[in-house]
A and B are shown apart, each in its own frame.
Chain A
Amino acid sequence: MALLEVEGLEAFYGRTRILHGLSFALDEGGITTVLGANGAGKTTTLRAISAMVKTAGVIRFAGQRIDGRATEDIVGLRIAHVPEGRGTFVDLTVEENLRVGMYARRDRGEAVRDLDRVLGYFPILRERRRQVAGTLSGGEQQMLAISRALMLRPRLLLLDEPSLGLAPLVVREIFRILRAINREAGVTLLLVEQNAALALDLADHVFLLETGRVVVSGPSEVLKRDEAIRRSYLGY
């Protein structure tokens, strides 16, 4: 069964409609990436799922309607969202950032154990536990943002441009860990990414957005060989 189903999704900033009837579904345990040019509505798609923009249409999570609910309630269903720009709490320490991430957890004891597990993915953060998060490098802040989201023990993890502004080596490290998170913890990933080559390697499913509509959708193995996709997004 699909973990997330979206049917005829529309999203608005004020009166301007950004998404024009998007439909797609995510399988549980999969990694899906959204490709598209700037302004195609990739970020808005994620924001629509988290109820951070006004929407119309149907969104179902684990068979349950979630459209029209408040962001905080959606988070409570264990849908975590790593926002564009990382959303770091710059004046809090690294550990405090992670503790904010477990706010919605009802099982405190388990959550504290998860803190250790999550820091296991990112040893650098363990070293910097007491450091103020605003002083971390961009890559470390991205790791912190992912860790904060993982503290929710999410079923679905939404990631908005995790590679933005980071050095290639750091990006590769982060993607390696994302794959590990998907495999080991069984977290379903939905990823928006500018770096199409990288995203296609990580993902098992891809859909392509153009001005607020899904124009192509399929397994990444197939789409990687697609002539048009290759030219437009992979550049060879």
Chain B
Amino acid sequence: MEIFLQQVVSGLATGGIYASLALALVMIYQATDVVNFAQGEMAMFATYLTWSMLNAGVPYWWAFLATVIVAFVGGILIQRIVVRPVENAPILTIVIVTLGLLVICNSVAGWIWSYVQKPFPSPFSARPLRLGNIVFGAHDLGEMGVTLLSLLLLFLFFRYTPLGLAMRAAAQNPVSSRLAGIRVSRMLALGWGLAAAFGAVAGMMVAPILTLEPNMMGGIQIYAFAAATLGGFTSPLGAVVGGFLVGVIENLVGTYVSFIGTELKLTVALATIIVVLLVRPSGLFGRVHVRRV
């Protein structure tokens, strides 16, 4: 029983990371109807910027804040320069563009900072907390808290601000949105900016665990896809719940199904994606399109 609970707890910890990147994926999907395959790599790139600032002696939270802002602006620029020219192209074109972006971010990061792993500090204390015999890492708790806080911020933004509503409207029905005076193209850029900012937060939370290197987000990205698919690509809450679930499932299956162990864990994520798509394509919390014609 103790082993089980400990595995659930560490599953939640890794799940929190999947959730934070899944949140960025869902964010961009909601705002622009595009699945961004480069989300993880953009996050990794942003984390390198934090690392450079920390190396230059900038205090952690200032570097954190600066990274979020730079990522936000960077996301907007990427949308304007790379994505916008293919905005009206078939979906496959856009997918290929984001895949290209993935490769570019990865290679450029490797070129600038090399492929040597770099330690990355956590802002949370190193001392683990104990509850009976179950151990909670302080960074794990902090990182889960950051994920939940991000979810709350996104929820409040989309639900209660005119700008959040305009972004949802623009993604859903661009023509009607323009007729309501919404500058759709600006909303799309804003969506990329916000997703990049949330992705950067995910990157900064991942790096202390995996150590920083250009391929850090590769696996995480697949888990985040599993999380977003499981929770529903149209629901930020779903993405977070999905993230935690995928983390726990992965850990439990790794522990109790002997032939899977740690080597085949990633397969669990892929299997989750396939099962969800077969059984419930809209995910646990996703909205099924209801429409009268």
Q: Which residues of B contact A103 (CB under 8 A)?
A: 162, 165-166, 169, 180-182
- What total of A-B pairs shows CB separation below 8 Å? 82
Q: Once the chains bind, are A100 and B180 in contact (CB under 8 Å)?
A: yes
Q: Once the chains bind, are B173 and A87 in contact (CB under 8 Å)?
A: yes
Size category, A interface:
20 to 34
Q: Which residues of A contact B289 (CB under 8 A)?
A: 90-91, 134
The complex places the Cα of A189 from the Cα of B49 at a distance, in Å, of 56
The complex places the Cα of A46 from the Cα of B179 at a distance, in Å, of 12
The answer to the question of A40 belonging to the interface, with a C-beta cut-off of 8 Å to chain B, is no
Given A87-B173, A103-B162, the answer on whether A75 and B179 have CB atoms closer than 8 Å is yes
The complex places the Cα of A89 from the Cα of B169 at a distance, in Å, of 7
Q: Which residues of A contact B267 (CB under 8 A)?
A: none
- List, sorted by A's number, 26 A–B pairs whose CB atoms are closer than 8 Å: A50-B179, A52-B178, A71-B178, A75-B178, A75-B181, A80-B179, A81-B179, A83-B179, A88-B176, A89-B168, A89-B169, A89-B173, A90-B290, A90-B291, A91-B172, A96-B169, A100-B165, A103-B162, A103-B181, A104-B181, A134-B289, A134-B290, A137-B292, A141-B292, A148-B180, A152-B181
The complex places the Cα of A99 from the Cα of B158 at a distance, in Å, of 13
Q: Which residues of A contact B182 (CB under 8 A)?
A: 72, 100, 103-104
Given contacts A52-B178, A81-B179, 17 further A-B contacts (CB under 8 A): A71-B178, A75-B181, A80-B179, A83-B175, A87-B179, A88-B173, A89-B168, A91-B289, A96-B168, A100-B169, A101-B180, A103-B165, A103-B166, A103-B169, A103-B180, A103-B182, A152-B180
Q: Once the chains bind, are B176 and A87 in contact (CB under 8 Å)?
A: yes
The answer to the question of B177 belonging to the interface, with a C-beta cut-off of 8 Å to chain A, is yes
Q: Which residues of B contact A136 (CB under 8 A)?
A: 292
Given A92-B169, A99-B162, A103-B181, the answer on whether A83 and B290 have CB atoms closer than 8 Å is no
Interface set of B (CB-CB < 8 Å, partner A) = 162, 165-166, 168-169, 172-173, 175-183, 234, 287, 289-292
The answer to the question of A76 belonging to the interface, with a C-beta cut-off of 8 Å to chain B, is yes
Q: Chain B: which residue is nearest A78 at the CB level?
A: B181
Q: Which residues of B contact A132 (CB under 8 A)?
A: 290
Q: Once the chains bind, are A138 and B173 in contact (CB under 8 Å)?
A: no
Q: Which residues of B contact A99 (CB under 8 A)?
A: 162, 165
Q: Chain B: which residue is nearest A97 at the CB level?
A: B169
0/1 per residue, A71-115, Cβ < 8 Å to B? 110011000110100011111100010011101100000000000
Q: Which residues of B contact A92 (CB under 8 A)?
A: 165, 168-169, 172
Q: Once the chains bind, are B176 and A83 in contact (CB under 8 Å)?
A: yes
Given A104-B181, A134-B290, A135-B290, the answer on whether A90 and B166 have CB atoms closer than 8 Å is no
The complex places the Cα of A75 from the Cα of B172 at a distance, in Å, of 19
